Amino acid sequence: MASEWPETSRASSVEENPKLNIPEIVESVSDSKPSLKNQFSTTVIDSSDLNVFNDGAETTVKEQEFTSSELRRLQKLRLKMDLRIIPCLWILYFLSCCLRFTVSLSFTMNTAQGHSLIQTLSGYSAHYLALGLALFYVGYIIFEVPSNLMMAFIEPRIWVSRIQLTIGVVGACHAVLGTKHGNAQSYVALRFFLGVAESGLWPGLAYYMSRWYRGKHLGKRIGWYYTAAQIAAAAVSLVSAGFQKMDGARGLYGYQWMFLIWGVVAIAQALSIPWWLPAVASKEHRKSLSSFIPLPKWMKTLSPQRIGFLTPADKSLHSRYIAEMNVGKRWQWSDLLKSCLDLRVWPFILMYFGIVGVGNGIFNYCTLIIEEINPSFSGIDISLLNAPIWLADALGIVTVMPLYDRFHKKFSFFTGSCLIIIAGLAVANYAPRAWSRYGGLLMIGFGLGPTVPICMAWCSASMAKTYGDVGVASSLALVTGLGNLGSVVTTYALYSGWPGDPTFRKSNDVCIALIGVSIIACGIEFLLDKTGFGQFNASFNNHDHEVEDEQEMTDIKPALPSSQQADA
C-alpha cells in the first residue's frame, strides 16, 4: 500500500467513485471506533491504489511481492536454514534406517560360527520370522496418525527427538535376543515395538520441513534427507562386516554389538535434536516440554529455547515467506475431520501405495532377483551388485528433485518417474541377456528415487494451504500409514510369498500394474488440485477473513506528522 495518497479532490472522487467515500463507510462499519473515524474523515482512496471497497471485489489486500533485495535475503535465509536443518534430519533418518535394516542383516551374520540371530534365538521358526516382519508394519500403521498429530500439540522438534530416542532404545534392546532371556516371542514383540517407535517419523520430518519452506522449495529438500535411506542400506552392509569381527568380544555375538552400538548412537543423536533443530513458530495451543516435565531452575539455563537462530529481521521476512503454508493457525477438531475426508488425500494414498509397495518389494528381494537373473553369481557378486541399485535410487533423487522444485510440474515429474519404473520392470523381466536384465533393476532404482519425495512435498503443500498444521500432520500420516499397506502386499503376497512364481516374473508384472494405479491416482490428484473439488473450508479461514477486514480498516490511514504519530 502506498505511503502517500493521491491528491484528488473530495468532490470529484465521490462523483467518479461514489462507493469510495470513506466517511460513509466508516460511519456504517466502525461506529464503535471514533478515533478510526476521525482519521478517515478527510481521506479519500483512489481505486487504482486499493481494490478492497469495489463492488464484488475481494476483501483482502493482495499479498505484497518481495523486492529484489528481499529475494536475495530469502536465498541466504534458505541457505542458513538448510545448513542448520538438513544435516540433522539426514543423520536422524540415516540412523533410524540403519536400526531397521540391521534386523535382516542379523539373520546371516557369523553363520559359519553358528552365531547368527536365527541360529541363537530360542524357539525360532519361519512362522515367528514372518509374524515379526508383519507386526512391524502393524505397529507402524496403527500409531502413524496419532503420532504425527502430536506435532500439532507439542513442539515438533521435541516430538521428533522423542521418536528417535525410542527407536534407539528399542533398537538397542534387540541385543537381549542373544541372551538366555531372548526367544522367538520376544523377537516378535521387539519388532512390533520398533514399528510403534518409528511411527510418525517419516511424515513427521516432512511436516517439520513444511513449517520452514514453501511448497515450491520443499521437494528437493525432502529428497536430500531421503537419500539417507539409500546410503544407510549400503552402509550397514559394509559396517556389519566389522561387527562380525567383534563376534565373541566380551561374551557378545556380533549382531548384539551391532544392535547396541547403533542404538546408543541413535540415542545420543536424539538427545541433541532439541538444541540442533530450530523451534517452529508456535501458538498458545502448542505445549512446550516444560509444560509436561517440571524442570529445576538450573536446567532452564540449558533450555533449547535460549539457543537463537534467526534475527528479528529474518523472523519477520520468514513469516511473510511461509505465510501461504498457514503455520501456527489455531484449528478445531472439525478441521481434522475435514482434512481426513478431503478427496485429495485418497489419491495420494494410492500413489504412495504403489510406489512404496514396489520399492520395498524390489529392495527386500533384490538379492534373490539378481540370483535368479544369473544363478552363477557368487554371494560376493550378489552383494556387490546390490549396492549400485541403491545408489541409482539416490542418484534419481539428487538429479530429479532440483528440477522438480525449479519447474513445479508435479504430474509430469511423478508420471515420468513411474514410467521409468515400468520400463525397468519390463526390461528386468523380458530382456534376453543377464546384464540387460540387471540394467532394468538400475532403471527401477533410478525411477523410484524421486517418487516418494514428490508425493510427500506435493501433499504437504496442498494440504497446508487449505488446513494448515493439522491438515499436513493428518494427511501425511494417512498417506504413509495406509500407503504402507502396499509394502505388506508386495512383501508377503509376491516374490518369495508366491509359490507359483519361482522366477519372480509374475510378481514384476503385478508391480507394473501397481505403478499404473499410482499414475492414474496422480492424474486424479492433479485434477482435484486444479478444480478444488472435494475440498473443505477450514475454520480458521472464516476467522481470518473477519480479522483481515477489521485490520484493513485500521491500516488505511494517511501518513501523520511525527508529532501526531507520537500522540497516536
Burial class (CB in 10 A: 0-12, 13-18, 19+), 241: exposed
- Contact, 164 vs 197, CB < 8 A? no
CATH superfamily of 82-289: MFS general substrate transporter like domains (1.20.1250.20)
pLDDT at 385: 84
Q: Which of 212, 213, 231, 200 has its CA nearest to residue 90?
A: 231
Tens-digit pLDDT profile for the chain (568 aa)? 444 333 333 444 444 444 444 444 444 444 444 444 444 443 333 333 333 333 333 333 334 468 999 999 999 999 999 999 999 999 999 999 999 888 877 877 887 788 888 888 888 777 787 778 778 878 888 898 888 888 878 888 999 999 999 999 999 999 999 888 888 899 999 989 999 999 999 899 999 998 899 888 988 999 999 999 888 887 887 788 788 889 889 889 988 999 999 999 999 999 999 889 998 865 544 555 445 555 555 444 445 555 568 888 998 998 889 887 766 667 788 888 898 999 999 999 999 999 999 998 887 778 788 888 888 887 667 767 887 888 899 999 999 999 998 898 999 999 999 999 999 999 999 999 999 999 999 999 999 999 999 999 999 989 988 888 888 888 998 999 899 889 878 877 777 667 777 788 898 999 999 999 999 999 999 999 999 898 888 776 655 544 444 444 444 444 444 444 433 3
**DSSP annotation of 214:** -
Dihedral sign for Cα atoms in the order 350, 355, 357, 358: positive
Q: Which CATH class is domain 329-536?
A: mainly alpha
Q: Are 467 and 339 in contact (CB under 8 A)?
A: yes
Residue type (1 letter), 168: G
Residue in 349, 320, 327 with CA at minimum distance from that of residue 281: 327
Q: What is the pLDDT of residue 163?
A: 95
- Which pTM does this prediction carry? 0.72
Checking phi first, is residue 310 left (phi over 0); if not, alpha (psi -120 to 50) or beta?
Answer: beta
Contact 205, 160 (CB under 8 A): yes
On the question of a common fold for 82-289 and 329-536, the answer reads yes
Q: Which residue has the cell 519425495?
A: 453
DSSP string computed for 390-458: HHHHHHHHHHHHHHHHHH--HHHHHHHHHHHHHHHHHHHHH-SSHHHHHHHHHHHHHHHHHHHHHHHHH
Show Cβ contacts of residue 434 under 8 Å, excluding neighbours closer than 6 positions. Answer: 373, 374
Encoded amino acid at 56, one letter? G
Assess contact for 86 and 221: CB atoms under 8 A.
Answer: yes
Longest dimension (CA), the chain: 99
Local structure of residue 175 (DSSP, 8 states) = G
Q: What residue spans define the domains of the chain? A: 82-289, 329-536
